[in-house]
Amino acid sequence: MNGHAYSIEIDQVSKRFGHGSEATLALDTVSLNIRTNEFFTLLGPSGCGKTTLLRMIAGFEEPTSGDIRLDGVSLTGRLPFQRPVNTVFQSYALFPHLTVEENVAFGLEMLGRDRAAVREAVTRMLALVKLSDYARRRPHQLSGGQQQRVALARALAPHPKVLLLDESLSALDLKLRKDMQVELKRLQRETGITFVFVTHDQEEALTMSDRIAVMGGGKLQQVGSPEEIYDRPVNRFVADFIGETSFLTAEARGSALEFGAAGRLAEGALGTTAQGPVALAARPERLRLSEDGGLTGVVSEVVYRGADTLYLVTLADGQNCRVRHTNRLGARERAVTGDRVRIAAEPGAFQLLTGEAGHA
Amino acid sequence: MRDPRTVLRRALLLAPTGLTLFVFMVIPMGLMGWMSVLEPDTYGGVRWHALSLDAYVQFWYERDLDDSLILNTAYMEIFLRSFLLAGFATLATLVLGFPTALYIALQDERTRQRLILLISIPFWTNLLVRTYAWMLLLRNGGLIDSGLGALGLGSGALDVLYTPTAVAIGFVYSFLPFMVLPIYTSLEKMDWRLVEAAFDLGANRWTALRRVVLPMALPGIAAGCLLVFIPALGSYYIPELLGGGKSLMIGNLIQNQFGTARNWPFGAALSFTLLALVLLAMIVYTRRFRQAPGE
């Protein structure tokens, strides 16, 4: 152990592009810590600042203010080639004039390893990404997936402390992406390297990450495990960006939630003890259509989606709510459009959104 | 393939090119080849039916009074000097041109356009005029000479004009754009993310330049070298004006044979030898750069 709990510490980092009135704030005082050998994902829509943050860890951009530390040592002023950090680029950026094995050997040669050590490491890396038969090919003779694995092998070969992956799976087709997700997870466990992954794909983030940082508008919105991010989004942005969500407002009174004309949900539908007007988020699968439900409404649409069916319900107080039921063999539809229904909620189904007033 | 109409159409399409090549290339070259194996006429021209290999022998040997052949290195020296001067011009323009091209390629779009315009401004004036301008600059008592004198650096006589140095200066000046432009073209297409990737993998600036930028620019460098070396090798009026017309290079030697020396077959033979050497260089070039990087 190196004595530091964190591999990367991002400390109050801001990044401003341009000058004067044309300046844009790409990152706004972001602080987060990434643990050693963690699969950490920066998740957000395009333009949220996640790639800027990644490029600052790699050294291609310098923070306007704040500091980035690796194993406790500040990276400020250190050029990209002076950092034990390697990147798998979105475009792969394989050297077209070099063969696959020469590409993989590049970083090792830069470290000044002797020829035999380089050859041995290249052979091992190519076996790891299952490209041993393609060592003598040039990048343009490979498929997208193979190129991606070369990029991965090239970045992993010098055994960096941190591997950065910039939207590295987005160019692949679905099947290949699924395979690569599994492979990346395996590589991360086997190599003991800290992975920092940038993506806009929430499913990718949820399936692969140990922890996720959701970013939006240059700000850090929430950091947590995939379960925390999904089940307990702290604000509207996170709840909206990840998964399906119904946004509702209600009045919290005691342990009950009152929805005006739509009725009330008693006993612990809200996970916290907040009182008064509240803004809420609820996942459709945490709600159900039930005779004994506390809320009333009319089904406005039924969407069959194979594994499940989504019911869009207009509550009696005018708010819209989504309810999802898993489909079982032989089971009939629970409701059709226009049916009057009642909705029940699991305990803790409603998540309080911070930073927002309840009823306007 | 065998369809006669296809064959006809192909022949018709190729006809203009074929005809142009035949009239302007094959016929003159054939004529030149023929001339090179004829005897010279007394007042220029050739005796059309007197076959002789004298012209090629003359390149290597001198005919002594007793009709025996003795080795003559004078012409070989001129060839050697031509190759050295052209080679120097190529090397010097490469050393100056590559950083220039790299610098331009690294600027933003608008600056690049402006710089390329600056590079091509010399083309707006005839090269002959610009060469005369160099004579004014380089001659004793000229701008450079008196400038150095005013600074107390000159001894009064620069003595550069009418030397191989002046020819070399003229070459570097005239051919620099022909080196910069093709290198710039190959660098402009370059994916700079590859340089980022090299940095990321631990290559410093110099290593990234050597291992990534240079190999990617190689086709442009090779094209630039050809565009400088071949015209420089056969160049005529730069050595004529700046070198003082002292048969410094092959071009002047050839011109002399068709002019004052009145030995057309020898001039033709020299032309053919030059052509053969350039072709040889081209073959080496294509062999070497056949596996150029890229798709």
- The predicted-structure confidence for A220-268, as pLDDT tens digits, reads as follows 999 999 999 999 898 999 999 998 899 999 988 887 888 888 888 877 7
Interface test with B, best of A86, A88, A97 (most B CBs within 10 A): A97
Tens digit of each residue's pLDDT (9 = 90 or more) over B137-192: 888 888 888 888 888 776 667 788 888 889 999 999 999 999 999 999 999 988 99
Q: Per residue in B63-76, pLDDT tens?
A: 877 878 888 888 88
The reply to whether A359 falls in a domain is no
* Residues of B (182-201) whose Cβ lies below 8 Å from A: 191, 193-194, 196-201
Domain span at residue B178 reads 81-262
On the question of pLDDT at B20 being above 80, the answer is yes
Nearest to A89 among B193, B203, B207 (CB): B193
Nearest alpha-carbon partner for B38 in B21, B57, B53, B19: B53
Contact A81 B191 (CB under 8 A): no
Residues of B in contact with A106 (CB under 8 A): 198, 201, 203, 211
Q: Per the CB < 8 Å rule, is A81 touching B202? A: yes
Give the pLDDT confidence of B28-62 residue by residue, as tens digits.
999 989 989 998 888 878 888 888 888 888 888 88
- Say what percent of chain A tops pLDDT 70: 96
Residues A147 and A256 in one domain: no
Condensed to tens digits (0 to 9), the pLDDT of residues A117-140 reads 999 999 999 988 889 999 999 999
Closest chain B CA to residue A61: B196
Interface test with B, best of A95, A104, A108, A137 (most B CBs within 10 A): A95
Question: Do B48 and B192 belong to one domain?
Answer: no
Q: Do the domain assignments include residue B204?
A: yes
Distance separating the N- and C-terminal Cα atoms of chain A: 52
A236 lies in a domain? no
**Span B1-26, average pLDDT:** 89
Q: Which chain B residues contact residue A103 at CB under 8 A?
A: none
Report pLDDT for A358.
44
Does any domain span residue B286? yes
Q: How far apart are CA B152 and CA A339, in angstroms?
A: 104
Q: What is the DSSP string of A137-198?
A: S-GGGS-HHHHHHHHHHHHHTT--SEEEEESTTTTS-HHHHHHHHHHHHHHHHHH--EEEEE
Within a domain: B5: no
Domain count, chain A: 2
Residue with tokens 């296809």: B6
pLDDT score recorded for residue A61:
93
pLDDT confidence tier of residue A301, bands split at 50, 70 and 90: very high
Q: Cβ of A93 and B194 within 8 Å? A: yes
Q: How many CB atoms lie within 10 A of CB B275?
A: 14
Axis crossing angle, helix B127-138 with helix B143-150, rounded to the nearest 10: 30
Q: Tell me: do A219 and A75 sit in the same domain.
A: yes
Contact (CB<8Å) B212/A95 = yes
Chain B positions in Cβ-Cβ contact with residue A95 (cut-off 8 Å): 194, 197-198, 212
- Report whether pLDDT(B295) > 50: no
Does residue A360 lie within any of the structural domains?
no
Binary contact (B295, A140; C-beta < 8 A) = yes
How far A140 CA sits from the closest chain B CA (Å)?
Answer: 7
Residues of B in contact with A96 (CB under 8 A): 194, 216, 293-295
Residue A329 belongs to a domain with what CATH number? 2.40.50.140
Nearest to B38 by CA among B18, B16, B56, B63: B56
Q: Give rounded-to-5 percent helix, strand, coil for chain B.
A: 70, 5, 25
CB A323 within 8 A of CB A311: yes
* Contacting residues of B for A58, CB less than 8 Å apart: 200
Per-residue model confidence (pLDDT) at position A4: 62
Q: Residue A146: what residue type? A: Q
Give yes or no: residues B141 and B54 share one domain: no
Tens of pLDDT, residue by residue over B197-254, are 999 999 999 999 999 999 999 989 999 998 999 999 989 889 989 988 676 789 889 9
| B91 has pLDDT over 60 | yes
- B47/B185 same-domain check: no
Q: Look at residue A227 in the predicted model and tell me its pLDDT.
A: 94
Please say which residue of A189, A209, A231 terminates a domain: A231
Nearest to A80 among B199, B211, B293 (CB): B199
Higher pLDDT, B267 or A356: B267
Query: A98: which DSSP letter?
Result: S
Indicate whether B17 belongs to any domain. no
Which residue among A231, A258, A285 closes a domain? Answer: A231
The contacts of residue B191 (CB under 8 Å, 6+ apart) are A91, A93
CA angle B41, B45, B48 (to 5 degrees): 75
pLDDT at B1 over 60: no
> Which of the two residues, A171 and A80, has the higher pLDDT score?
A80
The residue behind tokens 């001339």 is B35
Q: Is residue A238 part of a domain?
A: no
Percent of the residues in chain A that have a pLDDT greater than 90, as a whole number: 56
Same structural domain, B147 and B239 = yes
What pLDDT does residue B89 have?
A: 96
Number of domains in chain B: 2
- The per-residue pLDDT of chain B, averaged, comes to 88
| Domain co-membership, A215 together with A282 | no
Where would I find the beta strands (DSSP E) of chain A? 6-17, 24-35, 39-43, 65-70, 73-74, 85-88, 162-166, 194-199, 211-216, 219-224, 246-253, 256-258, 264-265, 276-282, 287-289, 295-304, 308-315, 320-326, 340-345, 350-352
Out of B193, B194, B202, the one facing A111 most closely (by C-beta) is: B202
Q: Give the nearest partner residue to A91 out of B193, B201, B216, using CB atoms.
A: B193
The domain that holds B154 is classified in CATH as 1.10.3720.10
Looking at the structure, do residues B268 and B242 belong to the same domain, yes or no?
A: no
- Which whole number is the average pLDDT over A306-331? 89
Residue B155 confidence (pLDDT): 63
- Chain A residue numbers with beta carbons less than 8 Å from the beta carbon of B289 are none
CATH of the domain at A157: 3.40.50.300
- Tokens 């700079």 correspond to B192
Mean pLDDT value across chain A: 88
Number of other CB atoms surrounding residue A62 within 10 Å: 14
Question: Judged by CB atoms within 8 Å, which residues 103-142 of B form the interface with A?
Answer: none
CA–CA dist A179, A166 (Å, integer): 18
Kindly report the nearest CA distance between residue B201 and chain A, in angstroms.
5
Yes or no, beta carbons of A81 and B293 under 8 Å apart:
no
Report the gap between the CA of B210 and the closest CA in chain A (Å): 12
Contact B200 A96 (CB under 8 A): no
Is 70 exceeded by the pLDDT of residue A2?
A: no
Instruction: Indicate if B226 and B273 belong to the same structural domain.
Output: no
Whether A358 is covered by a domain: the verdict is no
- Domain-embedded: residue A196: yes
Contacts of residue B88, defined as CB under 8 A and 6 or more positions apart, other chains included, come to: B168, B171
pLDDT at B97: 96
Q: What is the pLDDT, as a whole number, of residue A50?
A: 93
Q: DSSP code of A285?
A: G
Closest Cβ opposite residue A81 in set B193, B199, B215: B199
Q: What is the mean pLDDT of residues B85-95?
A: 96
ipTM of the predicted structure?
A: 0.82
Q: How confident is the model at residue A207 (pLDDT cuts 50, 70, 90)?
A: confident
Residue A108 confidence (pLDDT) above 90: yes
Specify if B7 maps to a domain: no
Q: Which two tokens stand for residue A211?
A: 């922890």
Structural domain harbouring A313: 244-352
Residue closest to A90 by CA, chosen among A24, A157, A153, A144: A144
Please tell me whether residues A227 and A251 are part of one structural domain. Answer: no
Residues B36, B144, single domain; the answer is no
Backbone angles phi, psi at B26, to 5 degrees: -65, -45
Give A157's pLDDT tier (boundaries 50, 70, 90).
very high
Nearest to B201 among A60, A96, A110 (CB): A110
Residues B90 and B68 in one domain: no
**Is residue A272 domain-shared with residue A331, that is, in the same domain?**
yes
**Cα(B160)–Cα(B155) distance, rounded to whole angstroms?**
13
Task: State residue B148's pLDDT score.
Answer: 83
Q: In 3D, which of B200, B199, B224, B230 has the Cα closest to residue B102?
A: B224
- Whether B207 and B289 map to the same domain: the answer is no
Which two structure tokens, joined as six digits, stand for A263? 């009725």
Residues A24-69: tens digit of each pLDDT: 899 999 999 999 989 999 999 988 999 999 999 999 999 999 999 9
The chain A residues in contact with chain B (CB within 8 A) are 58-60, 79-81, 85-87, 89, 91, 93-97, 106-107, 110-111, 140, 154-155, 158
Judged against a pLDDT cut of 60, whether residue A3 lies above it is answered with no
Residues B209 and B277 grouped into a single domain:
no
